[in-house]
Structure 1
Amino acid sequence: MRSLAILLLALAALPVQAKVNSLQAARLGQELTPLGGERAGNAAGSIPAWDGGLAAPIAGYQPGMHHPDPYAADAVQFVVNQANQQQYQAQLSPGLQRLLASQPDYQLRVMPSHRSAAAPQRIYDATRFNAEQAELISGGNGVQGAAAGIPFPLPQSGQEAIWNHIMRYRGDQIHLVTNQAAVLANGSYNLLKLDRDIYFVYGREGMTPKGLDNTLFYYKYKVVAPAKVAGSALVVQETLDQILSIRKAWRFNRGERRVRRLPMLAFDTPQPDTNGMATADMVDSYNGAPDRYEWKLLGKQEMLVPYNSYAVHQQGLAYTDILQRKHVNPALLRYELHRVWVVEAHLRTGFNHPYAQRRFYLDEDSWQILAVDLYDKSGELVGLQESHPISYYDAPMFGSTLETIYDFPGERYFADGLDNNEPMYDFKADLSPRDFTPQALRREGN
């Protein structure tokens, strides 16, 4: 208890990050996009100007469909592979360079860049408000003065940038059914099917800073298959300031037929059913309190990143066609040149984590983390995370349809989000906070 009190006092003594003034904030929606990206394209013309993104369903889309690819007619501009990767080194993350170097049959299909990220107008309006009001508290481990929109559209630190990812708009509520798989070095894997519900609090319509109760979102899943583990379930109540109040999580164990409070589901806690490849804070590329790392904003860079990944999202694709030995099928992936914010995180002294250093690449138009380089305690590059996003233009919301984690020493990988043979996400699901309690979890298991 004494060490906790010392930590809290130390955090309280740290200065609050300065707010953005009105002149800076006025750039939003002008030369900057409403969420803080550069509206203009690049000088070479290889990155276009942002024109609002895909803010409405495209022709031919019907509710419930796996989203048709608006860019299906695009031709491959060039291919990056093991033989020519040095030519594109400046635009490749170290993790992607290593993946290409270690896998002679892996390649990047680089397509024309489309800045498709979009959000509802109310998110843009809230972001404009947040720009002048939001500030970091608790030594950077909490945010106040913000609601609904991006809290720091003009980031001044690595912590602000990572909070933009954590607090980005992902809809009001979602019901989804997805599969995940830990693909071993020999190519074998077992699919785990999860029925998931998410109820977002921070980004809801009408939410104000005074209306927040330190809750970011509620999350619940139930294992559907395979039969031997079906019925197990988990519920999480995610807090905004996790120094003030840690996240609460309960698990229903089918064998015990009872709900248990989990003492810890954060940081380096192993993520279940990933064969040891993922920790709890790697879900959604990064989640939870940032207090165990020192964060540095390195600036912005043009890089080849996963984007508009509609091909791997299409309905009816066999999971065996997606999950190849050593890596996801590159013929189903799409890479584009985009500007990304680069944020580096170094583990603080006194803390343990298998990844002592991480480098994050955040999309300038959505604040979605697109890739993460993972380094161990000795400084060796040991892993790569990638998020393959699309614009869910019926929401509208920009987010990943498939997430991967590559374990280089183990020559294996983990994939999550496989939904090609499941019903499409329901952004209008009938959910409420009452569905995310220990009592609700008990009912789920019965």
Structure 2
Amino acid sequence: MNRTLISAAVLGGFLSLASGGVLAQIDASEVARLGQELTPTGAEKAGNASGSIPAWTGGLTQPPAGFSADKGYVDPFATEKPLFSITAANMSEYAQQLTAGQKAMLAKYPSYKLNVYPSHRTAALPAAEYAQIAQEATRVLLADSGNGLLNYQKTTVPFPIPKSGIEALFNHLVRYRAGGYQSYPTEMVVQANGSFTPVRREVKVMMASAMGNPESNRLLYFLGAVTSPESVAGSITLVHEPIDQAKESRLAWTYNPGQRRVLRAPEVSYDSPVSTSDGLRTNDMTDMFNGAPNRYEWKLLGKQEMIVPYNNYKLADRSLTYKDIIQPNHLNQDLVRYETHRVWVVQATLKPGERHIYGKRVFYIDEDSWGLLAADLYDGRGELWRVQEAHSLQRYDVLSAIQVSDVAYDLQARRYVTYGLENEEKPARFGLTADLKTFSPAALRRSGR
């Protein structure tokens, strides 16, 4: 594959969703390609001509020797050294494989670098997920507005051969998360001098398809409680996320410990700021992007070979402290691993008449896991404002590629916010089981008390 974007002519039908239209589902002949020249999730099985991207041979499906969930992930590539490092001095040599955000960070901060390692295509899902993807691929449709899914049951890749930007995005939104999980993510707003205060949470996420009694039109349930510091501890957010947001918008509630009340929270969406982020993170930046996509026009620009965060087992090492990771201006880049992978490039442009602080967003979605790995966020003037990246790894114990953390750098404010690090916390637990009562407003009231 050429390092440049696939042209529109080559993409053929891979066009953005026309206003009000619905794209037809793929046919049986296309589904037959899954598991053949394509992986079961729709990626190109073959490597690239240069050898920098290997062929996919099934992914990483077994924990390395010595793995214990209580002790954290063992790095299967711990002995590897970087092939090369990209700095401001040599970034022109790799310009075609860098995002606009990476180039801006390299130009702005002399200490910023990208250590590039050998590429490993570790993404893998359980066999049952592969079967479900093939089963639903010929049935799932976008809703008329493009703001939801029709005929969706529980596939984790509804569009393995995407024909539009919004289809590629939905693959990210519904990707496999081991049914459900409980985690203890830490959020840190980092000032220009490197100072930070950890905001700790306990979070439960449950995919509706893994529950025995989900409501109709539900994708997932989210319950997040802030546990420290004392100044914000006790606040809780509950979200019921619809599958088809053309039918029903997100339902959200918050518990305010000062008022001791549960209130509906329609503001927990779009570009409203996350209350603990000091204005650096909007609600729809959580998980790189989440929620309703209806304020943007989505365009699939093509697939490109890029240098992206991948297999970040070193960053997840539980022997690290947050002071080891957090530095002024950016994370400790010696702990972040980058590899060359193929990504789908999707551009979101704010629709005329709609409001959002980001006028344009460019997303880079991993072809293997469908996880969002990087994003460039532009302000209303068209200037690059913020840069996101997700620190992905294959969770080989549960066969899911949920990232260990993500970061958003504000180029204008010279500050950043990172979310998800658990190095000093209890490890996440996967395979969570829960019923609807766990995620009810009544349960929110009880947990608040």
Deviation at 1:72, TM superposition (A): 0.6
Deviations 1:326-380 (CA, angstroms, capped at 9, x unpaired): 0000010000000000000100011111111000000000110000011111111
Q: Does structure 1 retain, via aligned residues, the 8 Å contact 2:145–2:246?
A: no
CA distance in 1, matches of 2:21, 2:263: 39
Q: 1:384 aligns with which of 365, 387, 398?
A: 387
Residue 342 (structure 1) aligns with:
345
Deviation at 1:283, TM superposition (A): 0.8
Query: Given the alignment of the two structures, is residue 219 of structure 1 paired with residue 226 of structure 2, yes or no?
Result: no
Deviates more, 1:13-22 or 1:156-165: 13-22
Residue 192 (structure 1) aligns with:
199
Task: Report the TM-score when normalising by structure 1.
Answer: 0.94
Residue 132 (structure 2) aligns with:
126
Give the 5 Å matches for 1:355-434: 355-434=358-437
Residue 69 (structure 1) aligns with:
75
Q: 2:159 aligns with which of 135, 138, 152?
A: 152
* Paired amino acid for 1:308: N
CA distance in 2, matches of 1:313, 1:169: 20
Deviation at 1:130, TM superposition (A): 2.1
Deviation at 1:205, TM superposition (A): 8.5
Deviation at 1:82, TM superposition (A): 1.0
CA distance in 2, matches of 1:87, 1:205: 50
CA distance in 2, matches of 1:341, 1:254: 42
* Paired amino acid for 1:174: Y
Q: 1:442 aligns with which of 436, 442, 445?
A: 445
Find the residue that maps to 2:281 and give its secondary structure.
coil
Deviation at 1:228, TM superposition (A): 2.4
Instruction: Summarize the Cα distance change of 1:170–1:293 in structure 2 as closer, same or farther, 3 Å threshold.
Output: same
Residue 51 (structure 1) aligns with:
57
Residue 100 (structure 1) aligns with:
106
Residue 201 (structure 1) aligns with:
208
* Paired amino acid for 1:199: M
Deviations 1:205-240 (CA, angstroms, capped at 9, x unpaired): 899xxx871101110111111122221111111111
* Paired amino acid for 2:93: Q
Deviation at 1:271, TM superposition (A): 1.6
CA distance in 1, matches of 2:70, 2:43: 31
Deviations 1:160-214 (CA, angstroms, capped at 9, x unpaired): 1101110111111101112111112222221100011111114x3899xxx8711
Instruction: Summarize the Cα distance change of 1:245–1:191 in structure 2 as closer, same or farther, 3 Å threshold.
Output: same
CA distance in 1, matches of 2:272, 2:385: 18
Query: Given the alignment of the two structures, is residue 282 of structure 1 paired with residue 279 of structure 2, yes or no?
Result: no
Query: Given the alignment of the two structures, is residue 304 of structure 1 paired with residue 304 of structure 2, yes or no?
Result: no
Instruction: Summarize the Cα distance change of 1:156–1:441 in structure 2 as closer, same or farther, 3 Å threshold.
Output: same
Deviation at 1:145, TM superposition (A): 2.1
Residue 256 (structure 2) aligns with:
253
CA distance in 1, matches of 2:78, 2:193: 33
CA distance in 2, matches of 1:178, 1:156: 34
Deviates more, 1:117-126 or 1:355-364: 117-126
CA distance in 2, matches of 1:65, 1:241: 39
Find the residue that maps to 2:294 and give its secondary structure.
coil
Find the residue that maps to 2:185 and give its secondary structure.
strand
Q: 1:116 aligns with which of 115, 119, 122?
A: 122
Find the residue that maps to 1:126 and give its secondary structure.
helix
Query: Given the alignment of the two structures, is residue 182 of structure 1 paired with residue 189 of structure 2, yes or no?
Result: yes
Query: Given the alignment of the two structures, is residue 295 of structure 1 paired with residue 298 of structure 2, yes or no?
Result: yes
Residue 265 (structure 1) aligns with:
268
Deviations 1:302-346 (CA, angstroms, capped at 9, x unpaired): 000000001110113110111101000001000000000000010
CA distance in 1, matches of 2:235, 2:411: 31
Instruction: Summarize the Cα distance change of 1:13–1:403 in structure 2 as closer, same or farther, 3 Å threshold.
Output: closer
CA distance in 2, matches of 1:194, 1:185: 24
* Paired amino acid for 2:71: M
Deviation at 1:12, TM superposition (A): 12
Deviations 1:97-148 (CA, angstroms, capped at 9, x unpaired): 0001101011111000000111111111111122211111132111112323
CA distance in 2, matches of 1:71, 1:212: 42
Query: Given the alignment of the two structures, is residue 244 of structure 1 paired with residue 250 of structure 2, yes or no?
Result: no
Residue 4 (structure 2) aligns with:
none
Q: Does structure 1 retain, via aligned residues, the 8 Å contact 2:211–2:435?
A: no
CA distance in 2, matches of 1:12, 1:319: 46
CA distance in 1, matches of 2:353, 2:19: 20
CA distance in 2, matches of 1:340, 1:265: 29
Q: Does structure 2 retain, via aligned residues, the 8 Å contact 1:140–1:159?
A: yes
Find the residue that maps to 1:215 and give its secondary structure.
coil
Query: Given the alignment of the two structures, is residue 37 of structure 1 paired with residue 43 of structure 2, yes or no?
Result: yes
Deviation at 1:149, TM superposition (A): 2.6
Q: Does structure 1 retain, via aligned residues, the 8 Å contact 2:310–2:391?
A: yes
Q: 1:318 aligns with which of 321, 331, 334?
A: 321
Instruction: Let me know the Cα RMSD of the aligned residues.
Output: 1.7
Deviation at 1:265, TM superposition (A): 1.6
* Paired amino acid for 2:226: V
Q: Does structure 2 retain, via aligned residues, the 8 Å contact 1:12–1:139?
A: no
* Paired amino acid for 1:237: H
* Paired amino acid for 2:182: H
CA distance in 1, matches of 2:169, 2:431: 28
CA distance in 1, matches of 2:172, 2:427: 24
CA distance in 1, matches of 2:31, 2:330: 42
Please list every run of 5 or more consecutive structure 1 residues that lacks an aligned counterpart in the other structure.
1-10
Find the residue that maps to 2:364 and give its secondary structure.
strand
CA distance in 1, matches of 2:107, 2:401: 30
CA distance in 1, matches of 2:313, 2:287: 19
Residue 9 (structure 2) aligns with:
none
The sequence identity of aligned pairs, in percent, is 44
Deviation at 1:430, TM superposition (A): 4.1
